[in-house]
A and B are shown apart, each in its own frame.
Chain A
């Protein structure tokens, strides 16, 4: 082949080639699982029909922020804050619950339903890695509802303000609070809904069970609050994730509950709710790990 005047032409071997490149192990496996599940949560790389519900719900969750920004732009008033960051959750709580019901079974039960679990567990991945990857994926997906719209709102408010620097100076503390509250809310909802979804391979049961968890806990909490007095009536608000989250957000923002609301009636110190949220998140996550450690595949 060294001679130039030889006609150029080669036949290449299309046979099997070995792979000699790097093998990146558990951490990489976990990261891939996380990204794959996160994409799956929004139906990316899937047919259009699997994108509609999660993306529509995420849009609904961003709508209050968009409206506020729009109103701010037109009216151009510093003081017209219809939606305070500590109240944002009140507008989107149903969207968050529906998102969990629709997406958690997709994130968690799917591999059990399609019997893909043995493929994961026979690879360079531990069962606990699998669960943590899935938890992280749903948590991140929920941040698109609980954190991203508010962050945009915060930035938008600042930029729309006639005195941006003044706005940032006065309100900069809101940003870490938005981050913290968004992360906490997402953590509780992610771990609770995954715990429920992990109990069954059947998607319909999982969706229904997640909704049932939210609806029934709210009904019970509300009925008990309205029925019993004393410690029982006070503690009833701890039975529903919605009130726990609401109260934790208020605590993070050092704000108070509206008078007349269930939280105001309960009159418990904020750190109790924060502790409840952390405990519930941790216990739920631990239970999911435990379930997957034991599941036979």
Chain B
């Protein structure tokens, strides 16, 4: 890690209009949780919180969108703007550049989504025992952010169209293909995240179900994160400037 790069990236990611947009996004689950609290008609709060708020809104929408935006912007925007050369022409190893960028993307995504989970969840679940749903999603989201970000940082080194590619992965692959073909779940960070969340709860299968077993989901998530990070380090080490500069 390099402190100067970490600070730079933090300002890069947080000081822009898109971050404000993301904060608005993160407030949407909170708003919906409020609505649920005062106008809701569902009898089972744990079920609603886990399935609708947690799995659908947060893990299914907010988390991947925040991760794809922060993850591809952390390093990708440097290539796009032509500022990457300032980092790469310094006596520090390129693996440090990647790790510093990844760290900030992860922290930004994680903090935003975690805040949304905890606040919205606390509102929705009310005061009954929550069967570990809040804790489960909090931990799962923190881990899921890392997996998503490492993949998106890798994408941003490999292609200049990382944002589009990332969204295709999120919406088409994870959203559509996994719904149609169950086997693709082993390549879906969304399913890993839900699997980990489920593992940490004590809910019944009828209240809240996951497609992957907890240990299996966690193992896949770890493998995916490490692999993506390793590939990103390797790709940046071999990176060459484009013909246009």
Do A and B touch each other in the complex, judged by CB within 8 A?
yes
List residues of A whose CB falls within 8 A of some B CB.
204-205, 207-208, 211-212, 215-216, 219-220, 223-224, 226-230, 232-233
Q: Is the CB of A208 within 8 A of B167?
A: yes
Give the contacting residue for A227; candidates B25, B41, B65, B161; CB below 8 A: B41
Q: Is the CB of B48 within 8 A of A227?
A: yes
- Once bound together, how far apart are the Cα atoms of A178 and B25, in whole Å? 37
Q: Is B19 an interface residue (CB 8 A)?
A: no
Q: Is the CB of A208 within 8 A of B163?
A: yes
Contacts of B41 in A (CB 8 A): 227-229, 233
Q: Is the CB of B161 within 8 A of A219?
A: no
Give the contacting residue for A219; candidates B36, B40, B61; CB below 8 A: B61
- Please name the residue on chain B nearest to A227 by beta carbon: B36
Q: Contacts A224-B32, A227-B52, A229-B39: A204 and B163 contacting too (C-beta < 8 A)?
A: yes
Q: Is the CB of A223 within 8 A of B164?
A: no
Q: Is B126 an interface residue (CB 8 A)?
A: no
Contacts of B167 in A (CB 8 A): 208, 211
Q: Is B35 an interface residue (CB 8 A)?
A: yes
Q: Is the CB of B39 within 8 A of A227?
A: yes
Q: Is B171 an interface residue (CB 8 A)?
A: yes
List residues of B whose CB falls within 8 A of some A CB.
25, 28, 32, 35-36, 39-42, 48, 52, 56-57, 61, 65, 161, 163-164, 167, 171
Taking the nearest CB of chain A, how far is it from the CB of B202, in angstroms? 24
- Once bound together, how far apart are the Cα atoms of A233 and B38, in whole Å? 12
Contacts of A219 in B (CB 8 A): 56-57, 61
Q: Is the CB of A212 within 8 A of B35?
A: no
- Please name the residue on chain B nearest to A231 by beta carbon: B39
- Once bound together, how far apart are the Cα atoms of A233 and B41, in whole Å? 10
Taking the nearest CB of chain B, how far is it from the CB of A226, in angstroms? 8
Taking the nearest CB of chain A, how far is it from the CB of B160, in angstroms? 9
Q: Is the CB of A220 within 8 A of B39?
A: no
- Once bound together, how far apart are the Cα atoms of A279 and B85, in whole Å? 48
Q: Is the CB of A230 within 8 A of B164?
A: no
Chain B CB within 10 A, most for which of A207, A219, A223, A229: A223
Q: Contacts A208-B167, A228-B40, A229-B41: A223 and B161 contacting too (C-beta < 8 A)?
A: no
Q: List 17 A-B contacts (CB under 8 A).
A: A204-B161, A207-B164, A211-B167, A212-B65, A215-B171, A216-B61, A220-B28, A223-B56, A224-B32, A227-B35, A227-B41, A228-B39, A228-B40, A228-B41, A229-B40, A233-B39, A233-B41
Contacts of A204 in B (CB 8 A): 161, 163-164
- Once bound together, how far apart are the Cα atoms of A215 and B171, in whole Å? 10
Q: Contacts A220-B28, A232-B35: A227 and B163 contacting too (C-beta < 8 A)?
A: no
Contacts of A224 in B (CB 8 A): 32, 35
- Once bound together, how far apart are the Cα atoms of A233 and B42, in whole Å? 13
- Once bound together, how far apart are the Cα atoms of A195 and B41, in whole Å? 35
Taking the nearest CB of chain A, how far is it from the CB of B103, in angstroms? 24
Taking the nearest CB of chain B, how far is it from the CB of A284, in angstroms? 17
Contacts of A216 in B (CB 8 A): 25, 28, 61
- Once bound together, how far apart are the Cα atoms of A216 and B56, in whole Å? 11
Contacts of A226 in B (CB 8 A): 52
Q: Contacts A208-B164, A211-B167: A223 and B32 contacting too (C-beta < 8 A)?
A: yes
Contacts of B52 in A (CB 8 A): 223, 226-227
Contacts of A208 in B (CB 8 A): 163-164, 167
Q: Is the CB of A228 within 8 A of B35?
A: yes
Contacts of B171 in A (CB 8 A): 211, 215
- Once bound together, how far apart are the Cα atoms of A186 and B128, in whole Å? 48
Q: Contacts A204-B164, A208-B167: A223 and B57 contacting too (C-beta < 8 A)?
A: yes
